[in-house]
Chains A and B, each alone.
Chain A
């Protein structure tokens, strides 16, 4: 991959993200020292002191691998995504935000104006009377000051630039990240577009909990804080929405082992086009009623259907396509 006398060059970047993906890389601990021995880190603004000019100074394709986390929310995110694409041989959408939009993508229920109005005008902690809003360009005596433009919608990395591989997870779990590093360092990369650092199966495939049987149905959906959870039984049988049936395995079930239902961050497995619609179809089939009024009551116990079924995948959903086409 790199010239024999040089270490491969690695870049890591965060766009619209929470920093969890960075922490997951840091969580490699002593293994990170090993990574540091094997690669040359040319850009990692969260951890080391780099400037965008350092990236601009690189030749096109000089970065061997770029792990890009975060969604594309602003003109800055987009600019750096395009820049890193240009400078990198292999661009990896690292983590759920870059892969599927993740939690930042839930902002797509709204548009930029309503988000800015909320944040700058109507949030209870603010004095909204001044009408202060971030403006991309400001004239000051010293000249023009520019800040990034806040886009109307969130995009994934692949909706912005060409992406070579995808590492799912919010965040990707550390052992999978280590495997991804190994894969990259050995140069044994799979076919372009592949999902790496995850399994082909679903979480239900590997979940040790006692699964549902005939006759077990749901009279009302509950949220984890509303109920004491049986650590052995399938969450669905307990009336909790668990995204495991339509979520790719590979995380090692940290949530489920912590007695919390799967939230779906590894995205859909192969063959599932729309994770949320499939989850909806599965969960709705479990309701237990033969009374229309009770049915409405049960449906209403799902407080935030789109945010629940598409918690991580809204940006890549058909629902999103219908809104933005």
Chain B
């Protein structure tokens, strides 16, 4: 008579695509050293420990762990793992089980204003996590299509907020209104061009680089955004229209974007915006996009200083 052992937590994780390589982990912790979440957001964040919890059948502890919820699948750890474990895949499997067990994502997510939503589906196509999807609903006797966001999939990057042509999607802290308000800079210090610097929350690894941004005079307005993909070219245009001299957008290096595709989206936007400036004969280098790698310590200083020097020279030349 065959005897079947009860299914363990590890068995369940392994059964979900992405979770197969669980046992390969020998707890070296290289993933933790690579992870920006651990460094910037949550000291308790620890993929190594989470995988160990699964293997030790610590189900509830794993489900409550921030590691389960905060991983954005940026995969910075993946190439570093000596065992080649696709760690975000394993974490995704754990998250799926947590959701099935009734746990919910603690992240700040986006919300849709149905009065504005046209059901165009752009957010659904743009989201790196497939969090928004279209649903049909009856409104005043007629079927209408709206976007609905799965809060458990949404990582709050804001790529959809920028992509929505009607401003129907927002996220607290980085709504269109809140960002546009920050763009306004009054003329203060002479000689320093009025510059808006949008900085993705993840592209600066060194604490020195983060604190450097606070050392610039008020004419340099640093606006922190969750992802460079959050930037909408209309913001750059509004800034220039209001008399701002230049706009610098800083995102992650290709392959290092915390939200997988935001840096490509932003690169595409600024590229097209600059081509349009060229067609119109305006702009000339006043809106820039730079991709800062996790190893590019000190690069932010040269990028901001370079931008300011360019803007000063440009003003002088006119």
Q: Does B269 contact A (CB under 8 A)?
A: yes
Interface residues of B in 115-163 (CB under 8 A from A): 116, 118-122, 124-127, 130, 132-134, 144-145, 159-160, 162-163
Task: Say yes or no for B95: interface residue by CB 8 A criterion.
Answer: no
Judge whether A286 and B280 touch: CB under 8 Å.
no
A89 within 8 A of B: no
Any B CB within 8 A of the CB of A33: no
| Least distance between A227 CB and chain B CB atoms (Å) | 18
Q: Which residues of chain B have C-beta atoms less than 8 A from A305's C-beta? A: 272, 275-276, 279
Query: In the complex, which residue of chain A has the Cβ closest to the Cβ of B271?
Result: A299
* Residue from B233, B260, B273, B281 within 8 A of A323 (CB atoms): B281
Q: Once the chains are docked, how many angstroms separate the CA of A244 from the CA of B119?
A: 11
Within 89-119 of B, Cβ neighbours of A (below 8 Å) are at 116, 118-119
Which of A130-138, A165-173, A269-277 sits within the interface? A269-277
A176 at the interface (CB under 8 A from B): no
Q: Mark A217-242, 1 if CB is under 8 A from B, else 0.
A: 10000000000000000101100000
Least Cβ distance of B229 to chain A in Å?
A: 7
Does residue A289 face the partner (Cβ distance < 8 Å to B)?
A: yes
- B121: chain A residues at CB < 8 Å are 204, 211-213, 234, 236-237
Given contacts A246-B166, A321-B241, A323-B282, contact A282 B122 (CB under 8 A): yes
B118 and A204 form a contact (CB under 8 A): yes
Binds B, one of A42-50, A77-85, A155-163, A290-298: A290-298
Interface centre among B145, B160, B282 (most CB of A within 10 A): B282
Question: For chain B residues 276-302, which have a beta carbon within 8 Å of chain A?
Answer: 276-277, 279-283
**Interface core residue of B133, B167, B276, B280 (most chain A CB under 10 Å):** B276
Report the separation of the CA atoms of residues A237 and B276 in the bound assembly, to the nearest whole angstrom.
Answer: 24
What is the CA–CA distance of A217 and B123 in the complex, to the nearest angstrom? 11
Chain A residues, Cβ within 8 Å of B118? 201-202, 204-205, 245
**Cβ contact of A318, chosen from B237, B254, B261, cutoff 8 A:** B237
Q: Shortest CB–CB separation between residue A224 and chain B, in angstroms?
A: 19
Pairwise interchain contact B237-A284, C-beta atoms closer than 8 A? no
Asked whether, in the complex, the Cβ of A236 is within 8 Å of the Cβ of B125, the reply is: yes
- Is A285 a contact partner of B126 (Cβ separation < 8 A)? yes
| A193 in contact (CB, < 8 A) | no
Give, as a whole number of angstroms, the nearest-CB distance from A252 to chain B.
Answer: 16
| Max count, chain A CB within 10 A of own CB: residue among B164, B166, B232, B255 | B166
- Residues of B close to A190: CB separation below 8 A: none
CB proximity of B292 to chain A, nearest CB, Å: 14
User: Is B264's beta carbon under 8 Å from chain A?
Assistant: yes
Q: Is B165 an interface residue (CB 8 A)?
A: yes
Contacts of B241 in A (CB 8 A): 318, 321-322, 325
B162 CB contacts on chain A under 8 angstroms: 281, 285
Q: Does A319 contact B (CB under 8 A)?
A: yes
CB contact under 8 A between A109 and B133, given known A273-B234, A282-B165: no
Indicate if the CB atoms of B280 and A323 lie closer than 8 Å: yes
Say whether A55 faces chain B, with CB atoms less than 8 Å apart. no
A306 contacts B279, CB within 8 Å?
A: yes
Complex Cα distance, B113 from A134, in Å, reads: 55
Contact B122 A236 (CB under 8 A): yes
Q: Do B254 and A290 touch across chains, with their CB atoms under 8 A apart? A: yes
Interface string of B198-242 (1 = CB under 8 A from A): 000000000000000000000000000000010011100110110
| CB–CB A278/B279 < 8 A | no
Q: Are A213 and B122 in contact (CB under 8 A)?
A: no
**B122 and A277 contact, CB distance less than 8 A:** no
Determine the distance from Cα of A216 to Cα of B118 in the docked complex, in whole angstroms. 18
Cβ of B46 within 8 Å of any chain A Cβ, yes or no, is no
A302 within 8 A of B: yes
**Assembly CA distance A175 to B195 (angstroms):** 49
Top 6 A-B residue pairs of the complex, sorted by shortest distance between their CB atoms: A214-B130, A211-B121, A285-B163, A204-B120, A285-B126, A212-B121
Query: Which residues of B are at the interface with A, using a C-beta cutoff of 8 A?
Result: 116, 118-122, 124-127, 130, 132-134, 144-145, 159-160, 162-167, 229, 232-234, 237-238, 240-241, 254-255, 260-261, 264-265, 267-269, 271-273, 275-277, 279-283
Q: List 11 A-B contacts (CB under 8 A).
A: A201-B118, A202-B118, A202-B165, A211-B145, A245-B166, A246-B166, A271-B166, A281-B232, A290-B254, A290-B255, A325-B241
